[in-house]
C-alpha cells in the first residue's frame, strides 16, 4: 500500500477503532449499575449499556479481540508503509542502506506504538474513567451490535478462558461485583483512622453503623423489663417511672403491653392505665440490628422485648442508637 493518503486514512481508522474498544471496556467496568438502571427508564442507550454490564465477559472478549486486531492491523499496514517511506529519506542523507533500513524500522515502530498507545488507548481510557456512565451510554449501541455479530466466536473464546480459569480454582463471573461488604468497609474505616484521614469519633460512629448487620438483638439488651401489675393505676405508673428512670413501663406479668408515662399524666391517680397501653414489640434474640430498627420504625415503637436464654429482656431505641451512634446525644434524646 504505497498511496500515503490511503495509509493515513487506514491508520486513523485503526487507531479510532482501538480507542472505541478501549473506551467501551473501561466505561463498562467503571459505570455504576444503579445509575444505568435509573437512566434506563428513558434511554435506549442506557438499557443497552445495562445489558452489556450483565454480559461483561462477552463484552470484554469483544474489546480484547478488537484491540488485538487493531494492533495487528497497525503492524501489517501502517508500520511497513512508514518504514518504506523513511528508508529512502535516510539513505538520501548518506546513511548506509542497512543502517537506513534499521533506523527506518525503529522509527516506524516507535511512531506507531506512540500513536496507538497515546491516542488509541490512554486518551479513551482517561475519558471513560472520568465519565463512566456517559461514555458507557454513548458507546453502548455500537458495542451491542458488535456483540450480536460476533457472539458465536465470543462465546467460544469466553468458554475456553473460563475453563482455564476454573482449572486454577477460580469461578468466573459475568458481572462486576458492586459495592462493599460490611467487613471491607470496616477495614477501610480502620485504615483511614490509622492514616489520619478520619478522626476517632467519626470512626466509632461509622463502625457502629456497620454493626447493624453483624450485631444481633440479643447482644445489646439492657436488662429485665420494669413492670407494673395488670391492674396498675396511673399513680403506680408515675411512681415506678420516678423510681426506675424509665418512661415506658411494661404492664402485667406477661409484659405483653407497654404504657408511656406521659399518657398517665392526664389520668386521675386511681384511674387504670389499661386504656392507654399499647402492644409491645417482641423479637427473637438472633435478629440483626437493621431489622430491629426497621421493625421499630414501622410499628412506631421505642421498646421491644427480646426472649433470651436468661429470660425476657428489654431492648430500647436508646440501646440501639447507643451502639450504632456512640459518642452522640442520640441515645439520650431517645427518651426511653
Q: How far apart are CA 180 and CA 188, in angstroms?
A: 10
At 265, which helix (H) or strand (E)?
none
Residues 92 and 102 grouped into a single domain: yes
Q: How far apart are CA 95 and CA 106, in angstroms?
A: 15
Cell numbers representing residue 185 in the block: 468497609
Please give the DSSP secondary-structure letter assigned to residue 225.
P
- Establish if 163 belongs to a structural domain: yes
Q: In the predicted model, is pLDDT for residue 183 greater than 70?
A: no
Q: How far apart are CA 73 and CA 88, in angstroms?
A: 24
N- to C-terminal Cα distance for the chain? 85
Residues 163 and 308 grouped into a single domain: no
Residues 48 and 77 grouped into a single domain: yes
Q: How far apart are CA 220 and CA 163, in angstroms?
A: 48
Mean pLDDT for the stretch of residues 162-184: 70
Query: Where in the sequence is the domain holding 48, given as residue range(s)?
Result: 4-167
| Tens digits of residue pLDDT in 65-89 | 999 999 999 888 888 888 888 888 8
Residues 70 and 122 grouped into a single domain: yes
* C-alpha pair distances (Å), 173 with each of 54, 58, 111, 237: 10, 11, 38, 60
Residues whose CB falls within 8 Å of the CB of residue 261, separated by 6 or more in sequence, listed in order = 237, 238, 241, 247, 248, 249
- Establish if 323 belongs to a structural domain: yes
Residues 72 and 111 grouped into a single domain: yes
| Tens digits of residue pLDDT in 286-333 | 888 778 888 888 888 888 888 887 778 888 888 777 766 665 544 444
Residues 199 and 132 grouped into a single domain: no
| pTM of the entire predicted model | 0.55
3-state DSSP assignment of residue 235: helix
Residues 17 and 147 grouped into a single domain: yes
Average pLDDT over the chain reads 82
Residues 138 and 8 grouped into a single domain: yes
CB count in 10 Å sphere of residue 319? 23
| Tens digits of residue pLDDT in 244-284 | 888 888 888 777 888 888 888 888 888 888 888 888 888 88
**For the chain, what is the domain count?**
3
Q: Are 85 and 67 in contact (CB under 8 A)?
A: no
- Positive or negative, the Cα torsion across 261, 267, 272, 276? negative
Amino acid at each position: 500500500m504505497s498511496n500515503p493518503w490511503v495509509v493515513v486514512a487506514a491508520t486513523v481508522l485503526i487507531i479510532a477503532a482501538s480507542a472505541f474498544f478501549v473506551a467501551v471496556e473501561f466505561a463498562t467496568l467503571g459505570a455504576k449499575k444503579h445509575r444505568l438502571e435509573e437512566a434506563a427508564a428513558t434511554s435506549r442507550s442506557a438499557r443497552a449499556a445495562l445489558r452489556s454490564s450483565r454480559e461483561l465477559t462477552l463484552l470484554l472478549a469483544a474489546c480484547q479481540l478488537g484491540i488485538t486486531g487493531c494492533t495487528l492491523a497497525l503492524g501489517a499496514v501502517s508500520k511497513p508503509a512508514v518504514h518504506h517511506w523513511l528508508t529512502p529519506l535516510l539513505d538520501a542523507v548518506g546513511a548506509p542502506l542497512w543502517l537506513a533500513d534499521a533506523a527506518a524500522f525503529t522509527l516506524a515502530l516507535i511512531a506507531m506504538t506512540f500513536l496507538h498507545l497515546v491516542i488509541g488507548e490512554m486518551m479513551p481510557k482517561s475519558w471513560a474513567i472520568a465519565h463512566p456512565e456517559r461514555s458507557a451510554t454513548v458507546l453502548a449501541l455500537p458495542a451491542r451490535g458488535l456483540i450480536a455479530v460476533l457472539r458465536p466466536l465470543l462465546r467460544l473464546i469466553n468458554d475456553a478462558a473460563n475453563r482455564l480459569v476454573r482449572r486454577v480454582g477460580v469461578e468466573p463471573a459475568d458481572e462486576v461485583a458492586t459495592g462493599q461488604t460490611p467487613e471491607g468497609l470496616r477495614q477501610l474505616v480502620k485504615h483511614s483512622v490509622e492514616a489520619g484521614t478520619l478522626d476517632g469519633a467519626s470512626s466509632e460512629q461509622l463502625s457502629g453503623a456497620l454493626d447493624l448487620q453483624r450485631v444481633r438483638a440479643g447482644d445489646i439488651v439492657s436488662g429485665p423489663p420494669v413492670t407494673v401489675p395488670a391492674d396498675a393505676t396511673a399513680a403506680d405508673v408515675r411512681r415506678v417511672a420516678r423510681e426506675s428512670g424509665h418512661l415506658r413501663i411494661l404492664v402485667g406479668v406477661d409484659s405483653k403491653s407497654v404504657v408511656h408515662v406521659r399518657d398517665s399524666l392526664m389520668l386521675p391517680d386511681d384511674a387504670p392505665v389499661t386504656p392507654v397501653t399499647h402492644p409491645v414489640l417482641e423479637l427473637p434474640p438472633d435478629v440483626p440490628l437493621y431489622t430491629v430498627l426497621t421493625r421499630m420504625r414501622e410499628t412506631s415503637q421505642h421498646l421491644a422485648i427480646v426472649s433470651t436464654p436468661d429470660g425476657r429482656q428489654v431492648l430500647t431505641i436508646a440501646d440501639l442508637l447507643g451502639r450504632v451512634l456512640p459518642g452522640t446525644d442520640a441515645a439520650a434524646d431517645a427518651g426511653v
